[in-house]
C-alpha cells in the first residue's frame, strides 16, 4: 500500500504545511508505515491536487499496489483529488480539514475526528455516491440561487484592503439583499417539470454546504438518491427566518418537510436534476464543492457508489454500524 498526503498551503486562513508535515511524519511512524511508502506533496496551483492524485493512481495501478490519499485543505482540494482517481478502484481519498468551509466531513463526523492523524491512519475505506454536475464532480451539495450568488461575490470584496473573509461574506450578503431577489427557474426532476419563483435550491448527496448550512439534514451518501430542496421566493423580511431554519436543518425531519417549512420549501428525491432560468435575466450562479460559476443550465446526476473515501476510525466504525443496522 502507498500513502500520499497532498497539502494545500493556500487553503483556510493560514498555511498549514509547516506545522502539519512533522505531525504527519510522527503519525506515520506511530502507525508502523514504512517511510518509503509514504509521500508528502505541497500543491502549487489550482488543479495540482487532481494532477498529483491521478499520477499516483496510474503509478500504483501499474505496480498493483493500493493507494490512500489524504488531502489537507478544504473541500475543493478534496474533490480535486477524488476527481483525479476516478476510474481507479484501488484508490481512496480522505480529508484533513484545513480549509474555510470543511463541509464534506459534516456528513460523517466531527472536525476533531478528521484532524486526528492517528484516527485517520487507523480508519478505513467506504464507497459513496457522487454527483456529476456541469461544475464538475461533487461529493456533497450542488446549489444555485441566493446562497451561491453570495459565495460568488466574496472574492470581489476580499480584494479590498483590510477586508477579510467574514467581512467579505457580510458585504456580499448586503449586496445581494439590495439587489433583485429570486429567479424564475424551470426544474426537471426525474422527468417532472416544475416552474418556480425560487430564492435558492440545493441538490444534496451530503448534509451540509456553505460552512455548515444543513440543507440536506437526512441525506444519505450511499443510498443512490439525491435529496432536492427548492426554496420559494420570499420577502426580505422572511429571509432571515428562513435562513435560520435552513442553517439548522429544521426544515426536514423524519423524511418529510416540517409544518413550519411547508409554505416555503418543495422537496423531491431524484436520480437526475436540471434547472434553467426562465426570466430572461441571464445565467444563474451555481456552486458545487468549492467551484462557483454562472451557468445557463445546472445539471446534477447521481453516480451510485462511484467514489471511495477514507474515514477516520470513529467515523468509519459509525458508518459501518449504521449500514449493518439498515441491512438487518
- Domain with residue 289: its CATH number is 2.60.200.40
C-alpha cell at 246: 435552513
Q: Do 299 and 323 lie in a common domain?
A: no
Tell me whether residue 198 is in a domain: yes
DSSP 8-class letter at 213: B
CATH number of the domain at 106, please: 3.40.50.10330
pLDDT greater than 80 at residue 211: no
- Residues 125-165 pLDDT 10s: 999 999 999 999 999 999 999 888 877 877 777 677 767 55
Is a pLDDT exceeding 80 seen at residue 78? yes
Which residue in 37, 32, 47 sits closest to 5, CA to CA? 37
What are residue 49's phi and psi, to 5 degrees?
A: -60, -40
Distance CA 200, CA 25 (A): 44
**pLDDT over threshold 70, residue 169:** no
Q: How many domains does the chain have?
A: 2
Question: Phi/psi at 88 (nearest 5 deg)?
Answer: -110, 105
**Do 169 and 226 share a domain, yes or no?**
yes
| Residue recorded with cell 473573509 | 165
- Is residue 222 included in any domain, yes or no? yes
Q: Which residues contact 1 (CB under 8 A, 6 or more apart)?
A: 37, 65, 66, 67, 68
Domain presence at residue 128: no
More confident residue, 158 or 225: 225
The tens digit of pLDDT for each residue in 33-53 reads 999 999 999 999 999 999 999
Residue of higher predicted confidence among 136 and 324? 136
Range of the domain at 110: 2-123+312-327
Predicted pLDDT of residue 141: 95
Same domain as 97, residue 20 = yes
What average pLDDT does the chain have?
A: 92
Task: Examine residue 132 and state whether it is found in any structural domain, yes or no.
Answer: no
Provide the grid cell at 48: 495540482
Residue 131 lies in a domain: no
pLDDT of 326 over the 60 cut: no
What integer pLDDT is reported at residue 323 of this predicted model?
80
Going by C-beta distance under 8 Å and a sequence separation of 6 or more, which residues neighbour residue 154? Answer: 165, 168, 169, 172
Judged against a pLDDT cut of 80, whether residue 296 lies above it is answered with: yes
C-beta neighbour count of 58 within 10 angstroms? 15
Please give the Cα distance from 192 to 152 (Å, whole number). 29
Q: Are 273 and 163 within one domain?
A: yes
Shared-domain flag, residues 142 and 84: no
Are the beta carbons of 212 and 103 closer than 8 angstroms? yes
Q: Is residue 130 part of a domain?
A: no
Helix (H) or strand (E) holding 253: strand 252-253
Mark whether 158 and 74 lie in a shared domain: no
Q: Which residue has the cell 448586503?
A: 174
Q: What is the pLDDT of residues 88-115, one digit of tens each?
A: 999 999 999 998 778 899 999 999 999 9
Phi, psi of 120 (to 5 degrees): -60, -50
All residues at 6 or more sequence positions from 203 whose CB lies less than 8 Å from its CB, including other chains: 131, 141, 142, 143, 226, 227, 228, 270, 273, 300
**Residue 325: pLDDT above 70?**
no
Stretch 300-325: mean pLDDT, rounded? Answer: 93
DSSP string, 42-78: E--STTHHHHHHHHHHHHHHHTT--EEEEEEE-HHHH
238 found inside a domain: yes
The H-assigned helical ranges of the chain are 17-31, 48-62, 75-84, 111-115, 117-121, 146-158, 165-178, 236-247, 313-327
Q: Give yes or no: residues 78 and 164 share one domain.
A: no
Same domain for 153 and 115: no
Average pLDDT over residues 188-204: 96
* 229, 322: one domain: no
The DSSP bridge partners found for residue 301 are 132, 272
Asked whether residue 328 carries a pLDDT value surpassing 50, the answer given is no
112 and 151 in a single domain? The answer is no
The answer to whether 296 and 279 have CB atoms below 8 angstroms apart is no
Name the nearest CA neighbour of 288 among 81, 142, 151.
142
pLDDT (0 to 100) of residue 151:
77
Same domain, 192 and 157: yes
pLDDT at 33: 97
Percent of residues in the chain assigned helix, strand, coil, to nearest 5: 35, 35, 30
Tell me: do 105 and 149 sit in the same domain: no
Distance CA 321, CA 305 (A): 18
Q: Is residue 133 part of a domain?
A: no
High-pLDDT (> 90) share of the chain, %: 75
Amino acid at each position: 500500500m502507498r500513502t500520499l498526503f497532498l497539502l494545500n498551503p493556500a487553503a483556510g486562513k493560514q498555511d498549514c504545511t509547516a506545522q502539519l508535515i512533522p505531525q504527519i511524519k510522527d503519525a506515520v511512524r506511530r502507525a508502523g508505515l514504512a517511510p518509503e511508502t509514504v509521500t508528502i506533496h505541497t500543491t502549487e496551483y489550482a488543479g495540482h491536487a487532481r494532477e498529483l492524485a491521478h499520477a499516483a493512481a496510474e503509478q500504483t495501478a501499474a505496480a498493483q499496489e493500493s493507494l490512500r490519499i489524504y488531502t489537507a485543505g478544504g473541500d475543493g482540494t478534496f474533490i480535486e483529488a477524488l476527481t483525479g482517481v476516478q476510474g481507479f478502484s484501488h484508490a481512496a481519498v480522505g480529508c484533513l480539514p484545513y480549509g474555510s468551509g470543511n463541509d464534506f466531513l459534516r456528513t460523517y463526523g466531527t472536525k476533531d475526528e478528521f484532524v486526528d492523524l492517528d484516527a485517520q491512519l487507523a480508519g478505513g475505506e467506504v464507497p459513496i455516491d457522487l454527483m456529476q454536475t456541469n461544475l464538475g464532480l461533487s461529493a456533497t451539495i450542488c446549489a444555485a440561487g441566493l446562497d451561491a450568488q453570495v459565495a460568488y461575490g466574496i472574492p470581489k470584496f476580499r480584494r479590498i484592503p483590510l477586508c477579510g473573509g467574514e467581512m467579505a461574506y457580510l458585504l456580499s450578503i448586503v449586496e445581494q439583499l439590495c439587489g433583485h431577489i429570486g429567479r424564475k427557474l424551470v426544474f426537471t426532476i426525474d422527468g417532472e417539470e416544475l416552474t418556480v419563483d425560487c430564492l435558492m435550491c440545493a441538490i444534496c448527496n451530503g448534509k451540509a454546504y456553505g460552512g455548515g448550512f444543513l440543507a440536506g439534514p437526512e441525506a444519505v451518501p450511499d443510498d443512490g438518491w439525491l435529496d432536492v430542496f427548492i426554496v420559494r421566493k420570499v420577502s426580505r423580511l422572511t429571509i432571515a427566518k428562513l435562513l435560520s431554519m435552513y442553517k439548522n436543518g429544521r426544515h426536514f425531519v423524519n423524511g418529510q418537510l416540517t409544518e413550519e417549512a411547508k409554505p416555503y420549501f418543495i422537496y423531491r428525491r431524484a436520480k437526475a436534476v436540471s434547472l434553467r432560468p426562465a426570466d430572461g435575466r441571464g445565467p444563474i450562479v451555481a456552486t458545487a464543492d468549492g467551484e462557483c460559476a454562472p451557468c445557463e443550465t445546472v445539471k446534477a446526476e447521481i453516480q451510485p457508489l462511484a467514489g471511495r473515501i477514507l474515514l477516520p476510525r470513529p467515523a468509519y466504525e459509525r458508518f459501518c454500524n449504521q449500514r449493518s443496522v439498515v441491512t438487518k
